Structure 1
């Protein structure tokens, strides 16, 4: 039996590595022993141990997101597997390639009251792209080929557009210890293969005729390019070139990777969330065509802007053949590679007689309003009070080039949208925007930190509390991360919502102050904790943290009510400036 486990399981693990999987996150357990030992023994596989499966799932998700590659997860049977569920949901909606591997009881021990035996077939419902209940280990040549084929198919399925989670369920009978000394188990760092499969995926593209027709219909229109959250920056040069060719402004989501870097940012509009809140501006700037790449932007003001102009032609470009279109107003869904789409449309324009798009005053209006809005944002965000939005202008001055800036949901990602303006730093921005949840943020950021770049996480106190177990990874694996906790003692985002008017029940149901001193927890995980009392303090501590190693947590204490008032003050100032700029341009 030990030889059977080694041959079957070893073939599977080795084929995973051959298929491009080099990282696996393992949580300890008995039933998963065969694969855990074989994964640990493979010389080309990086093993990350994480005791809490819930945090482990998000940790693997962070690695996959940062490295743009599939990552495997392994746990034992029972509710251990169920704890992966939130991360599987996030991977599904955020299109992150995760290969979830769960150990299970053999079929004769299912539904008979055996311990740690829950119903694991299709455990994660519709969220995985593919599920397979693996066969029991056998040593025949046919079953060794089967193990390899399933590994190759699963690894490819996670990455094939749209990327996402895949679930393989492995039943094992006892004994569970494979023979790691099996002759020729690893041959030159790789198990001797009998057969394997390579999966290749090409780029979809429109025909030349389709590009020409589209070009004729949108050339010279009042158009916008919208770039939503995207962690792969391969199409940045192509989309900025398309913008320059069409003279279409780019509304760049803070997670689009278009706000920071050395690429051409002339047409990048980053303060649209602030100035589209102004009624006159959002009504007057009437688009005729919108081309959108990536997921729906964070900005609610943009969503309302689209709904205000239902006659606008909306073209959604989606390589993954999904339907990320919550407005219900899209005119076309174009399933093609974004880079290929941009290049094809540019080529079509260049084939025209004049070789360029027809000129309009449309783009200049957006550029002028954006510049004025940025001036107001930069001026108004500077304050001696601890205003949460100021964290991002401060970090823009402090972060070294090529850093990663991970943000939590609720207010941090919205403040990133408002206050993270264009720069040359090449800062990579990340968040878990698939399901927009506040769970697993610490773990995802720590997973992303394994990519080797300086990483800063900005997170609210409730999100920090939700994933305190995730801090163990920093201690176990000696990871380096700077975590900035915006501590307003509760759910700050609710101060901006209608619930805030229900004063009698607000604090109990929505404000939910927890009154925790996080210093004790951070110390428990061998981290450094600092509670700052001024922006000068903040700058000094962040600089020290970025030049050091290990876990560093910086708490910024803020007041929820003051924070809401300051936000509204800034938005009103931006709206006033934007309206004045628009009307001034129209009257000139």
Structure 2
């Protein structure tokens, strides 16, 4: 049984024609025609998430896992507004969400009608396209709506993928059904095309690359791509170029350089000009490291090329000289073909510095008291290989990047807007489709903020939630400024006296806890035991003051 609303029938058919069959539904009455049709026709994979804010993040995680668009459906009123954080994150992470919001007819807007707000263009800063379907169902209105829907769905996944919004005003009756198949609707396809550089441009870039003695390649956040990794490995080996990466770049070859914040701290005490690149090449998403940005802004390269299929002019380091509209894998493949073998002193300089700081880091950790640094070092040793690791924002992602990555693991994190409000929901959405073990590591405030992410029926036995409970927002103890304010403890640190155990029991997750190194090591063995077949939560209690002291001492030690 499907809705009698013809616009909804058309929409459902066009979604299927584009291969979009995953629907996340948040319950409501105004979106009843959408719910009836998606669930009733039997052709969609429908999931129900009550909390719209969590639903948008869940859908983003699902879209990342499946590498295809996912649609989210909600009622009218404030429900669409609750999607906004997840839509914004998806926009900056280039994830194609199809946002479908039910609405009251326009004649009821601002007329004291319940659940009725101005919904047109509410995501205008965070979508590639927004449309509002007509209310009437004449042949011309149906043709117009179908044309707009086609265009909207086409642009969602083209170029740089991003969310699109389809607002759907609906009149009562909302729940009239009929026993019929979806109608035949004309599909407008978008021809695929590739962005390629001319031979002349390739030769020009290759000449600059060859003439640059110090080449630094910044691999930003990126989905796993073995082909890209092989090309970068070959280029670094052949040309002596330095590839800097964080865990979220999903590059594992030891020829690359990581431990960036520690390396930067040491470089600033050395000779920064020795590490200054002649040519900087960047691709992918954002870097977490603030010190890297500061270093490159002070030590600018003569040339900075940014690779972007959507022509993004990311001048993060205030030295951008060329935007190159090609796929990163294709670009480095071409460069590898023409790269000359040359002396690699620049590469040795970076790798030697990385080895030095990693040795100092490990010496420091051997003597450090129990704190977040010790916790993250233990976690990276305990998390099984070939699993998926999701990093929460604020201090967890920074601690994780100080330590070595888990071997052969894929890393994900909400680094588009870098908020603490949705990492758990995103991880839950990803894990619901993943066949691998999925671990999400996040702080206590982020966990409590996003605990509704566990309020659904899609929590599988492959989910492991690790909550670092340092009883507040420990990131504000680590950065300069907030600790000197009288408002620090109440309004920055936001002291937290709660525990996650009750929430774990509410949502039927097995609960583990640790308050010392010995307890942590014992808990981790059981937490990741093959016998643990149920979703589980491990809460690790640390002291905020000890965390801050050890964090600062580590960087002092590295500098010396």
Q: Deviation string for 1:482-536 (max 9, x for gaps)?
A: 1111111111011122224426332122121021122112211112222213334
Report the more deviating stretch, 127-136 or 229-238.
229-238
Alpha-carbon contact 2:432-2:459 (below 8 Å) kept: no
Deviation at 1:271, TM superposition (A): 1.5
The structure-2 alpha-carbon separation of the partners of 1:175 and 1:80, relative to structure 1 and needing over 3 Å to count, comes to same
- Secondary structure in 2 matching 1:224: strand
Q: 5+ residue gaps in structure 1?
A: 186-190, 260-264, 350-355, 577-588
Q: CA offsets, 1:419-447, max 9 Å, x none?
A: 134x6x32111111111111112111101
Q: Is the 8 A contact 1:9 1:137 kept in 2?
A: no
Q: Distance in 2 between matches of 1:276 and 1:145?
A: 58
2: distance between equivalents of 1:476 and 1:70?
A: 19
Q: Secondary structure at the match of 1:101?
A: strand
User: Tell me, what secondary structure is at the counterpart of 1:268?
Assistant: coil
Q: Trace 1:248-267 onto structure 2 (pairs within 5 A).
A: 248-259=241-252, 265-267=253-255
Contact 1:394-1:539 at 8 Å conserved across structures: yes
Hey, what's the Cα distance between the residues in 1 that align with 2:498 and 2:375?
Answer: 22
1:409·1:437 contact (CA, 8 Å) conserved in 2?
yes
> How far did residue 165 of structure 1 move?
1.0
1:287 partnered with 2:271: no
Residue 544 of structure 1 corresponds to which residue in structure 2?
526
What CA distance in whole angstroms lies between the structure 1 residues aligned with 2:453 and 2:3?
36
Cα displacement (A) at 1:358: 2.5
Distance 1:125 1:44, change over 3 A: same
Distance 2:422 2:319 in 1: 33
Q: For each residue in 1:262-304, what CA deviation from the matched residue of structure 2 results, as whole angstroms up to 9, or x when unmatched?
A: xxx2421012221211322434322111111112311111111
8 Å CA contact retained: 1:54, 1:87: yes
2:452 maps to which of 469, 493, 497 = 469
Kept after mapping to 1: 8 A contact 2:250/2:411:
yes
In structure 2, the residue matched to 1:156 is 154
Query: What residue number does 2:264 align with?
Result: 276
Distance across 1 between alignment mates of 2:217 and 2:276: 14
Provide closer, same or farther for how the CA distance between residues 512 and 147 of structure 1 changes in structure 2, counting only shifts above 3 A.
same
| Counterparts of 1:237 and 1:266, CA distance in 2 | 12
Tell me the residue number matched to 1:305.
295
Distance 1:148 1:375 in 2: 61
Give distance in 1, aligned partners of 2:366 and 2:199. Answer: 51
1:225 has 2:208 as partner: no
Alignment of 1:380-391 (within 5 A): 380-382=364-366, 385-391=369-375
Say which SS state the counterpart of residue 464 (structure 2) adopts.
Answer: strand
Residue number in structure 2 paired with 1:173: 171
Q: 1:197 aligns with which of 183, 188, 194?
A: 188
Query: Helix, strand or coil for the counterpart of 1:277?
Result: helix
Q: Aligned partners of 1:210 and 1:88: how far apart in 2?
A: 37
1:440 counterpart residue number: 422
Conserved? CA contact 2:279–2:304, under 8 Å: yes
Equivalents in 2 of 1:378, 1:146: separation in Å? 64
Cα shift readout 1:223-275 (whole Å, capped 9, x = no counterpart): 1111011125262222323323321111012210013xxxxx24210122212
Alignment TM-score, normalising by the size of structure 2: 0.93
Structure 1 vs Structure 2 CA RMSD: 2.2
Q: Which moved more, 1:42-51 or 1:227-236?
A: 227-236
Give the aligned partner of residue 362 of structure 2.
Answer: 378
- Quote the residue 2:467 is aligned against: 485
CA–CA distance in structure 1, aligned partners of residues 486 and 549 of structure 2: 20
> Contact 1:235 / 1:339 at 8 angstroms: preserved in 2?
yes
2:97 equivalent to 1:67: no
How many angstroms apart in 2 are the aligned matches of 1:449 and 1:320?
Answer: 29
Q: Is the 8 A contact 1:289 1:314 kept in 2?
A: yes
Query: Is residue 197 of structure 2 the alignment partner of residue 206 of structure 1?
Result: yes
Whole-Å separation in 2 of the counterparts to 1:508 and 1:245: 54
Q: Work out whether residues 392 and 413 of structure 2, in 8 Å CA contact, stay in contact via their aligned partners in 1.
A: yes
Contact in 1 for aligned 2:431/2:463 (Cα 8 Å): yes
The change in CA–CA distance for 1:95 and 1:180 in structure 2 (over 3 A counts) is same
Q: Is the 8 A contact 2:276 2:300 kept in 1?
A: no
Of 561, 573, 587 in structure 1, the residue corresponding to residue 557 of structure 2 is 573
- SS of 2:206's equivalent in the other structure is helix
Which of 515, 523, 527 in structure 1 is aligned with 2:509?
Answer: 527
Q: Give the gaps of 5 or more residues in structure 2.
A: none
1:23 shift after superposition: 1.3
Report the TM-score when normalising by structure 1: 0.89
Q: In the alignment, what sits opposite 1:131? A: 130
- 2:61–2:430: 8 Å Cα contact kept in structure 1? yes
Q: Which residue of 2 aligns with 1:346?
A: 336
Do structure 1's residue 458 and structure 2's residue 441 form an aligned pair? yes
Provide the C-alpha distance between the structure 1 equivalents of 2:19 and 2:375, rounded to a whole number of angstroms.
38
Counterpart residue number, 2:42: 43
- After superposition, give the CA deviation of every residue in 1:328-373 in whole Å (9 maximum; x if it has no partner): 2212121211111111222233xxxxxx232241111111111222
What do the CA deviations read for 1:170-209 (whole angstroms, capped 9, x no partner)? 0111111253412xx0xxxxx4524212224322121121
Per the alignment, residue 410 of structure 2 pairs with 428
Distance 1:157 1:383, change over 3 A: farther
Task: Name whichever of 477-486 and 268-277 sits farther off.
Answer: 477-486
